[in-house]
Amino acid sequence: MRGARMNMRRKTVLTTVFIIIILFTSLFFVSKSIMLAGFEKLEMGYAERNLNRTISALNGEIDGLDMKLYDWAAWDDTYHFIDEPNQGYLDSNIVTGTFTGLELNVILYVDLNATVIFGKTLDRETEDEYPNSAELIDSIMANDLLFDLPYSESYASGLIRTCNGPMIVASRPTQNSACDSPLNGAMLMGRFFDNDVSERLSELVNLPVTFYLTNEDKPADFNEAERHLNESDEPNFIQTIDKDYIAGYTIINDINDSSLFIIKTEMPRDIYQYGVASFNYFQIALLIVMSIIGSITLLTLDMVVVKRLSILNSEVKTIAHDENRSTRISVSGKDEISSLASEVNLMLDSIEESEKVRGIINDKLTSKVVELERSDKASLNIMEDLNETVDTLKSMEKKLATKNKELEDYTYTVSHDLKAPLVTIQGFSDLLASNYAEKLDDKGRHYIDRINQGSERLNALISDLLELSRAGRKLKPFQWHDFNEIIKGSLESLEGKISGANVKVVHPNDFPKIYGDDMRLSQVVNNLVGNAVNYMGEQKSPQVNIGWKESGAFYEFWVQDNGIGIKDEDKTRIFNIFERASEGGAEGSGIGLSIVKKIVETHGGEIRVESVFGKGSKFIFTIPKKGADE
């Protein structure tokens, strides 16, 4: 008993632990995906915000340079210098101190024709003019937008690409200090966007700021950012560099709206690291809570379920080994376990009662067995009679098949033998008509015509009988044939009859390939289409539709007309030999549909007719997708 109880307790513990592990694992992955995804999203939001701060700081640099330029461009001395360049203005204003104080690298003066009146460049580190000063000024003057300043309020500022690198520039029209004079030119100030500017932006946003020109070699993260920004409509791109840093990237355009350089703002992943730490604390707390819940669950299950089941198990075992069938299990409580104990007691009652009944039944069965042994001999005799009957039926089936074959051969022989005298009759009849017609009166000639007509009808009948006897035979081995070609050949052979009756034949050109005898299948189409034309009646717009569809393992074909139709009482008998529809009066032997039926059945298919009298008929036949003997 103790072993059974321990086994139950072990299973309960293992099951509970397994469930707790599953729950903990599920909560781990779900909470991780939710919490860390949230922190990552928050982190990316902060990264994008810092990138926008960097862009704002860069715009501030540009606006600051424009504000400095404004004081110089709208100044009487500058205005007069444009009209009458003089050395005194240059000695007083365009000095090294001006460049260093305003943090400039270029100052230009141009007239209204965008011709440079004066230009100076200065390397603030060496305080010398750039060696390629003329080339640098030319690369600045190539930006026409800087000098398209038609109004006093006009200005142009931004970034340009020069031969010495990217430059922050600002230009304004020159006018007097009162700003009421005509414009006489423009003034431009420029400052290289170099590491000094990058460091100043870093100080402003309190984060590392770096940049690379779009046309120079860049680190892998800049290349990835450039590819993403070029392929998407998003202005910014955020990506994690490693577990400690995340960065935002954006492409800065020049004043001509061409890509100039990619700027990057880095920030430490403090938010994400805080999220990871919070998640770890949450997992520890969750593990503790799950352990407590699991322990309480195990104790509760042991007291409420396992212990009581062990007692129930012990009592059941005692009853099983007790010969006294009146012993019962003690029942306490009102739950499923007590209900189980009650059901066991009811089962014991049933067992006790059934044992009593079993004794009675055993006595009766013994007597029945004796009776059955006697009846077994009679059953054996019956089985022998049945076997003889089955053998007789099989023999009769073989004989019937032989008789059918003999009947078919007989029909063929008789039809063939009738052909010979019929040909003789027709020959003599034709001889009489050609050689003795003038010696006969009208009545005699009429009799000769009657003989010819009767011979022709009899010849047609004998030909149909011969065809019927051959319909169950293959003219040649079955092969795959394009049903489109069969339809085409049949319609060509019936072309005179169809056009003579003014009948329109409609059919698709996507019929499938079928496995069979193409000559026999052509007979089927010829008969069905010919009958449709014959039984059109007085239809004003006679039409025959030929179609097909797939139907399980078969192809289903049909020939449908809008002729006189078939009465319900004629539908079942028209496929019998010498049977024809009672309406229509079309000539024929009444064997055509019998031939069609026999050919279709030889190919493993079936044929049926759907018709509404007065509205037309639809003959439907099936051919297996794989031939009957394939």
Q: HEC string of 151-190?
A: CCCCCEEEEEEECCEEEEEEEEECECCCCCCCCCEEEEEE
d(CA 214, CA 223): 9
**3-state DSSP percent of the chain in helix, strand and coil, to 5:** 55, 20, 25
What's phi and psi for 626, nearest 5 deg? -115, 125
Output the six-digit token pair for 62: 């540009």
Q: For the segment 117-140, what is each residue's pLDDT rounded down to a tens digit? A: 999 999 988 889 998 899 999 999
pLDDT of the residue at 628: 46
Neighbours of 47 (CB within 10 A): 25
Q: What is the pLDDT of residues 324-359, one digit of tens each?
A: 666 777 766 677 777 777 777 777 777 767 767 776
Give the integer Cα–Cα distance in Å for 246 and 238. Answer: 7
CB 498 within 8 Å of CB 491: yes
Lowest mean pLDDT among 322-331, 362-371, 414-423, 532-541: 414-423
Strand partners, 185: 111
Q: What's the one-letter identity of residue 66?
A: D
Cα 161 from Cα 136, distance rounded (Å): 10
Bigger pLDDT: 249 vs 279: 249
**DSSP string for residues in 433-445:** HHHSGGGS-HHHH
**Distance of alpha carbon 574 from alpha carbon 503, whole angstroms:** 23
pLDDT tier, 259 (very low <50, low <70, confident <90, very high otherwise): very high
For the beta carbon of residue 243, count every other beta carbon within 10 angstroms: 10
Helix (H), strand (E) at residue 358: helix 336-435
Q: What is the tens place of the pLDDT at every residue in 523-568? A: 999 999 999 998 888 888 999 999 999 999 999 999 999 999 998 8
| DSSP structural state of residue 86 | -
**What's residue 239's pLDDT?**
92
Q: Quick one: pLDDT band at residue 508, thresholds 50, 70, 90?
A: very high
Minimal CA–CA distance to 522: which of 575, 558, 468, 485?
485
pLDDT at residue 471 greater than cutoff 60: no
Enter the tokens of residue 494.
């019936």
More confident residue, 263 or 435: 263
| 615 Cβ neighbours under 8 A, 6+ residues apart | 562, 565
Contacts 24+ apart (CB under 8 A), 83-86: 83/184, 85/109, 85/117, 85/118
DSSP state of 565: -
Q: How far apart are CA 325 and CA 313, in angstroms?
A: 17
Between 166-170, 285-289, 433-437, the lowest mean confidence (pLDDT) is in: 433-437
Indicate the pairing of strand 543-551 with strand 504-506: parallel
Yes or no: say if 24 and 286 are a contact pair by the CB < 8 Å rule.
yes
What does the chain come to in residues?
A: 630
| Better pLDDT: 255 or 626 | 255
Burial class of residue 370, CB neighbours in 10 A (0-12, 13-18, 19+): exposed
Contact 179, 78 (CB under 8 A): no
Topology classification of domain 476-624: Heat Shock Protein 90 (3.30.565)
Per DSSP bridges, beta strands 156-162 and 607-612 are unpaired
Q: If pLDDT is split at 50, 70 and 90, which confidence band does 303 have?
A: confident
Task: Tell me the pLDDT band of 302, cut-offs 50, 70 and 90.
Answer: confident
CB 260: neighbour CB atoms within 10 A? Answer: 23
Least confident residue range of 93-107, 566-580, 608-622: 566-580
Note if the pTM is more than 0.85.
no
Please tell me the distance from the alpha carbon of residue 416 to that of residue 44, in angstroms, as a whole number: 99
Could you tell me what percent of the chain has a pLDDT over 90?
Answer: 45
| Cα distance between residue 51 and residue 307, in whole Å | 67
Query: Token pair of 355, please?
Result: 């044992």
User: Interhelix angle for 592-602 vs 442-471, to 10°?
Assistant: 10
Give the H/E segment covering residue 554: strand 554-561
Q: Residue 74 corresponds to which tokens in the numbers above?
A: 């709208």
Domain boundaries along the sequence of the chain: 1-292, 393-467, 476-624
**Bridge partners, residue 187, by sequence:** 109, 172
What local confidence, expressed as pLDDT, does residue 4 receive?
46
At 396 the pLDDT is: 76
- Reported as a single tens digit per residue, the pLDDT across 199-245 is 999 999 999 999 999 988 989 999 999 999 999 989 999 998 888 89
Give yes or no for a contact between 516 and 623, defined as CB atoms under 8 angstroms apart: yes
What percentage of residues in the chain have a pLDDT greater than 70? 78
Q: Which one has a higher pLDDT value, 585 or 483?
A: 483
Token couple for 444: 């005699």
Mean pLDDT of 425-438: 67
Is pLDDT at 300 greater than 70 in this prediction? yes
Q: Which CATH architecture has domain 1-292?
A: 2-Layer Sandwich (3.30)
Q: How far apart are CA 77 and CA 83, in angstroms?
A: 10
What pLDDT score does 407 carry? Answer: 52
In single-letter form, the type of residue at position 43 comes to E
DSSP helix/strand/coil, 366: helix
Instruction: Name the 3-class secondary structure at 311.
Output: helix
- Answer yes or no: are the C-beta atoms of 555 and 512 closer than 8 Å: yes
Residue 486 clears pLDDT 90, i.e. is over it: yes
Asked if the model's pLDDT at residue 455 lies above 70, the reply is no
Helix ranges (DSSP H) in 436-482: 442-471
